[in-house]
Amino acid sequence: MIQNADLFSIAKTGINASSRLLNTTSNNIANINSEGYVRERTEFTSRLNGGVDFGFTDRVFDVFAQNQLRRDTSLVGEAQAFYDRVEGLDRILASEANSISQSMTRFFSSIQTAADDPTSMPARDAIMGEAGGMLNRVTQLGDFIKSKEAEAELQIQQSVDRANDLINQIGDLNEAIAVVSGSSVVDTPSQLLNQRDQAILDLAEIVSIEVRNSPNGGSGLTVNLTTGESLVMADGSFNVFAVGGEPDFTNRELTLRTSFNSPTKGESSINIREESLGGGLGGLFKYREQVLEPAQRSLGKLSIALADAVNTQNKQGLDYDQQLGSNIFNIPEFRAINYPSNSDLSLGVKGRITPGSGADVSNNDYRVTVLNTPAGTPPTFDVEVAALKNNGSPQLDRDGNPITQTLTISAEPGVYNATIGGMEIEFARGSDYATGDSFLLQPAREAATSLSLATTRAEDWAFASPIRINGSINNLGDAQVTASRASNTVVDTSFANPNASAFDGNGGLQDITSSPSGSFGAPVSIRFTSENSYEVLDNSSPANVISTVNSASDLTNLIDQAKNSGTPAWPAEFSALTDYPGYDLSLQGRPKPGDIFTIEFNTNGINDNSNAVALGQLQQMDFVSQSNAGNSSRATFNEAYSSLVGFVGSAAATADVNLQAASVMQAQSSDWFESTAGVSLDEEAANLIQFQQSYAAAAQILSSAQEMFNTILAVAR
């Protein structure tokens, strides 16, 4: 090796080197609290002809630890976002005061108390109060969930904006680093690099990403989503997230849109699967799709089922004003959402829950598609109704097949066509609908927030049965009435409604002039001709025999038996209606020939509590559908609510465990990264002393060189 550098230059390089080392060390010490700072080290090699070469300052870190930290940060971001949101729901369900279960129990309790004393007005007022209170609880919880939904949408928007900022920033930094890298050979643009790494780490918290070196070589980094779509590309251009929602614009969905900003390349957009996003955004979407929307729909389903059950039972009774019972709760209608590809976006479809079908309502959304062009007057056409999950994918039944129904619609204003899922839909615009038009119906979504009381009058509670059965005092047998029930009280004296019953709407039962059949009035009495044969009579005088039953096997549901096996056959006009006359009775005991039992309207029968007892029994009955896949398992109201609580609770518990696990992992990888990249003050302190000494030593060379030079000069003089 040839060493022919002179002492001066060696000393100079030595001083420079030590000076640089001191510089680096001081930089490390000063920046110990800077976020994202990675410690730097300067490395020197010796020069061929003596002295120290320029050296290279570089950051010290373990790239594997860094990647691991990014992955774990994504996991924590996802778990944290999910947990924070779910915890809010969990907390609200924990509060006793909000407990819907308690208010439901109090409601039914108040009904039972009133059933014990049906004429007491204070007891009826109490029920109205409890019903209002229960409705408040439900709508409050519904509103809370709705506001959480809006909040989640806002947060998605915010996260998307932040992610876009970061993506832009990374792209800019890539360019800047490329420029600066070229301009210096002694160090890397460490500040820019740290900034870029910090931006990448922040982005990793929002979405799950993978970072690679640019394929062009050089200092650029490309950033992809873990699912493969690229965010920051090699040539500095990038994709940004866009938020839209189809068809429900309030439900945001993500796409990636390019922003080449180039005259030659056109922009394009890619759909992304939100559930595999990871990071905070992924957590938000998972929360919305797996917890928030199902919880919202379960609550809606429960409130529909409860309101419908109470309404139906109340309509089977007689209220304090001696009128047939009416609706207590108002289950509002819902409007369909147009798919953007529809021919005319001003077309609408309205839906409502079919009265009496509250138990068929599930959590599903429904897409209704027009299959052929409307024809005829009134216009009719076929539609397909398909059940969807809340994320838009088809709901499958037990066998894995999509749940669909094809039916023919009569498209007129005011005509509601019944479909699966307990709802009925109205196509009001007749022939304006075109083939291929699709509409999205979400019956259970808004139900909890928009339920209301249809009446506040305590007299509207129908506790009595609308009919009463009187055994004639002259009866010689010992038959007693065991059951009398009214199953249908729909009043329509024109019989245009196929559900019309025998109640004339005026405090009585139909006679021969007002019944659908011209030859008979409504059946109002049973006359026994022997112990097990009887005639069904109307209320004309003399009474017409509508039908006779011979050798009845038992005395239950006497009118039904006459419908099915009476001679002559039950009048066709009666059978044409779905449930006419809408009441029935059962006896037990042994009647003697000549015994008569009369059915009459329960005028002044205000002490009758039979419908009140039935209303109280609703608490025990299974009215809430438990499955979206179409099987018929049902649960009581309280069971449905407790399974909602359990669902949210276990989601929160799982989220908590996931968060803790992810936090531990992140702590570990952070420690690992920190152990190579972090500044240790003690180490830097030792370095300071070391480099001070080497600086002093190098400076000493200079003075030695100077002394040598002086010595030579002194010799030459």
Partner 1 sequence: MRVTTNLIYDQNLRAINNSQSSLSDIQTQLATGKKLLRPSDDPVGASQVVRLTEELDKITQYKRNVDLATNNLELQETSLRGIKDVVDRARVLVVQSGNGILSADDRKALASEIEQIRNQVIDLMNTQNAAGDYIFSGYQSQSQAFEFNPSAQTDVIKFNGDDGTNDIQLSDSVKIRTTTSGKTLFEDVPARLSYSIAATNGATLDTSGVKNQGTFDRFHQINFDPVNAINNRYEFTIVSNTQIDVRNAGTGSLIESIPFNSGVNTQFEGIEMNISGSVGESVTLDLNRPEKKNIAETLHTMMLLLNDSALNPQALATGIDDTLVGIDNAMSQLSRENSSIGSRLNIAESVNSSLLDSEVTNERARSAIEDVDYAQASSDFARQETALEAAFASFPRIANLSLFNFI
Considering only residues 467-486, where is the footprint of partner 1 by CB under 8 A?
468, 470-471, 473-474, 476, 481
CB of 56 to partner 1, least distance (A): 21
Q: Are 386 and 363 contacting, i.e. CB atoms less than 8 angstroms apart?
A: no
Strand blocks (E) in 314-379: 329-330, 334-335, 337-338, 350-353, 365-370
Contact with partner 1 (CB under 8 A) among 645, 665, 701, 702: 645
How far are the Cα atoms of 9, 56, 255 from residue 698, in angstroms, in the given order?
11, 19, 61
Nearer CB in complex with partner 1: 106/445: 106
Stretch that binds partner 1, among 177-185, 281-289, 448-456, 685-693 (CB under 8 A): 685-693
Please give the DSSP secondary-structure letter assigned to residue 543. Answer: P
Stretch that binds partner 1, among 3-11, 68-76, 83-91, 428-436 (CB under 8 A): 83-91
Stretch that binds partner 1, among 113-121, 162-170, 234-242, 281-289 (CB under 8 A): 113-121
Q: Give yes or no for residue 694 binding partner 1 (CB under 8 A).
A: no
Contact with partner 1 (CB under 8 A) among 40, 72, 90, 308: 90
CB of 148 to partner 1, least distance (A): 16
Q: How far is the C-alpha of 255 from the C-alpha of 576, rounded, in Å?
A: 56
Q: Give yes or no for residue 625 binding partner 1 (CB under 8 A).
A: no
Q: Give yes or no for residue 675 binding partner 1 (CB under 8 A).
A: yes
Contact with partner 1 (CB under 8 A) among 216, 269, 680, 710: 680
Contact with partner 1 (CB under 8 A) among 250, 261, 682, 716: 682
Residues 484-513 that bind partner 1 (CB under 8 A): none
CB of 103 to partner 1, least distance (A): 11
Q: In whole angstroms, what separates CA 393 from the centre of its chain?
A: 14
Contact with partner 1 (CB under 8 A) among 204, 256, 652, 662: 652
Q: Give yes or no for residue 459 binding partner 1 (CB under 8 A).
A: no
Our CA angle for 336, 337, 342, nearest 5°, is: 115
Residues 119-138 that bind partner 1 (CB under 8 A): 119-120
Q: How far is the C-alpha of 502 from the C-alpha of 479, rounded, in Å?
A: 25
Q: Give yes or no for residue 681 binding partner 1 (CB under 8 A).
A: yes
Q: Give yes or no for residue 676 binding partner 1 (CB under 8 A).
A: yes
Nearer CB in complex with partner 1: 576/686: 686
> What's the sign of the alpha-carbon dihedral 292, 298, 299, 301?
positive
Tell me how many residues contact partner 1 (CB under 8 A).
Answer: 80
As given in the structure block, the two tokens for residue 212 are: 């690679």
Q: Would you call 113 exposed, middle or buried from its count of C-beta atoms within 10 A (0-12, 13-18, 19+)?
A: middle
Q: How far is the C-alpha of 278 from the C-alpha of 294, rounded, in Å?
A: 20
Helix, strand, or coil (residue 715): helix
Longest dimension (CA), the chain: 162
Contact with partner 1 (CB under 8 A) among 492, 656, 665, 701: 656
Gyration radius of the chain's alpha carbons:
41
Contact with partner 1 (CB under 8 A) among 487, 633, 650, 710: 650
As given in the structure block, the two tokens for residue 475 are: 């009866």
Contact with partner 1 (CB under 8 A) among 16, 112, 323, 431: 112
Residues 9-48 that bind partner 1 (CB under 8 A): 32
Q: Would you call 182 exposed, middle or buried from its count of C-beta atoms within 10 A (0-12, 13-18, 19+)?
A: exposed
CB of 473 to partner 1, least distance (A): 6
CB of 580 to partner 1, least distance (A): 24
Q: Give yes or no for residue 619 binding partner 1 (CB under 8 A).
A: yes
As given in the structure block, the two tokens for residue 512 are: 């021969």
Q: Give yes or no for residue 659 binding partner 1 (CB under 8 A).
A: no
Q: In which residue are the tokens 């309205």 written?
A: 350
Contact with partner 1 (CB under 8 A) among 239, 258, 363, 610: 610
Strand order in the sheet with 525-530: 467-471, 596-601, 525-530, 533-537, 545-549
Q: How far is the C-alpha of 604 from the C-alpha of 602, rounded, in Å?
A: 6
Q: How far is the C-alpha of 55 from the C-alpha of 460, rounded, in Å?
A: 93
Nearer CB in complex with partner 1: 354/610: 610
CB of 263 to partner 1, least distance (A): 49
CB of 489 to partner 1, least distance (A): 17
Stretch that binds partner 1, among 103-111, 164-172, 442-450, 561-569 (CB under 8 A): 103-111
- Which helix (H) or strand (E) element contains residue 342? none
Nearer CB in complex with partner 1: 308/608: 608
As given in the structure block, the two tokens for residue 427 are: 């196509």
Nearer CB in complex with partner 1: 342/670: 670
- Which helix (H) or strand (E) element contains residue 242? strand 239-244
CB of 582 to partner 1, least distance (A): 19
Q: How far is the C-alpha of 350 from the C-alpha of 441, rounded, in Å?
A: 8
Q: Give yes or no for residue 590 binding partner 1 (CB under 8 A).
A: no
Residues 528-557 that bind partner 1 (CB under 8 A): 529
Nearer CB in complex with partner 1: 104/305: 104
Q: How far is the C-alpha of 67 from the C-alpha of 209, rounded, in Å?
A: 10
Contact with partner 1 (CB under 8 A) among 464, 486, 546, 558: 464
Nearer CB in complex with partner 1: 578/680: 680
Nearer CB in complex with partner 1: 101/174: 101
CB of 520 to partner 1, least distance (A): 23
Helix, strand, or coil (residue 372): coil
> What's the sign of the alpha-carbon dihedral 656, 657, 662, 667?
positive
Nearer CB in complex with partner 1: 90/197: 90
Q: How far is the C-alpha of 580 from the C-alpha of 502, rounded, in Å?
A: 6
Q: In whole angstroms, what separates CA 222 from the centre of its chain?
A: 35
Q: How far is the C-alpha of 328 from the C-alpha of 644, rounded, in Å?
A: 25
